[in-house]
Amino acid sequence: MAELRDRMTRDLELRNLAASTRRAYLQCCSNFVRYHMKPPAKLGESAIKEYLQRLLRIGAGPETLKMNVAGLKFLYGVTLNRPKVVERIPWPKVAHTRPDILSGTEVLALLKAIDSMVPAMVLTTAYAAGLRVSEACRLKAEDIDSKRGLIHVRLGKGGKDRYVMLSTTLLTLLRKYWAQTRPAGWLFPGYKGQPLSPDAVRKGLERATKALKLKKRITAHTLRHSFATHLLEAGTDIRVIQVLLGHASIRTTARYSQVSAKVIGSTKSPLDLLGTKKGAALG
């Protein structure tokens, strides 16, 4: 089994999948093998369906089920080169819930509540530029172009580079941070010459959320959702937001920056227009 795990690890790396995705796929497949206590090469479609049904019985949610399906499809379709085994395994339907959005005041309070300087700067950078936490963690000093007011995001999701805005406020904070820490290599260094782990940033965020007793569901990605929504509320064209977020499709951006509660709340009901000059257009 160690050889198969190494082969799958290599296949995952060659496709440049995110480290968190690689770990999740490997864990799902390891759990599948432990459940059946047989090599995957000796198992087929019925064994996969039995395992997925077992996950449902023990209360696995749709996101967990989807991750397991994705991992097993990769194992059989790529590493074992047996795509027919998984071609009839359906993708579970996952409900698209609206993410919680932080107000500007909440964002400011949250960033100030981070109890460690480096994670605080990572999250501040992530919000200021709409970055994924993994993208912010992998920034280097040379990626900050102060002359042109840009941040160069290298090898973002899908292995694509892009440029995002460099906030003047963020630039001031980064310069203070640089003067205090003088990081070598990675702008936000972690353990043994590696960039700071996104997990370390998330833990800092969890502590801050608890300290503030915020009731909203807050993850590192909440700041990215809030970035997109705040730009939309400020009148930024959704196509510009699409480029900043690095989305290939405008449909993806539309899910991130759906019409906000603020916009909905300020929209006049047609009832308010009846009997007024503006209401004349209604006939």
Torsion (CA) 199, 200, 205, 211 in degrees, nearest 10 = 130
Known catalytic residue at 215: no
Catalytic residue among 73, 132, 225, 230: 132
Q: Which residues lie across from 254 on neighbouring strands?
A: none
Measure the CA–CA gap between 132 and 193, rounded to whole angstroms.
21
Strand bridging mode 162-165 / 144-145:
unpaired
Going across the sheet that includes 144-145, the strands are 144-145, 150-153, 162-165
CA neighbor of 92 nearest in space, from 145, 117, 55: 55
Q: How far apart (Å, rounded) are the C-alpha atoms in residues 86 and 97? A: 28
CA-to-CA separations, 28 to 3, 65, 157, 158, in angstroms, rounded:
17, 10, 22, 22
Is 255 in the active site? no
Q: Tell me whether residue 51 is one of the annotated catalytic residues.
A: no
* Residue 225 a catalytic site member: no
Of the residues 157, 202, 207, 262, only one is catalytic, namely 157
The residue annotated as part of the active site, out of 82, 221, 255, 262, is: 221
- Give the three-state DSSP class for 150: strand
Catalytic residue among 51, 127, 177, 256: 256
Would the CA dihedral through 131, 137, 141, 142 be positive or negative? negative
Nearest to 67 by CA among 100, 31, 108: 31
Confirm whether 84 is a catalytic residue: no
Asked whether 122 and 137 are in contact (CB, 8 A), the reply is: yes
**Gyration radius of the chain's alpha carbons:** 23
Amino acid at 212: L
Whether residue 35 lies in the annotated active site = no
Rounded to the nearest 5 degrees, what angle is found at the Cα of 42, between the Cα atoms of 35 and 18?
65
As annotated, the active-site residues are 132, 157, 221, 224, 247, 256
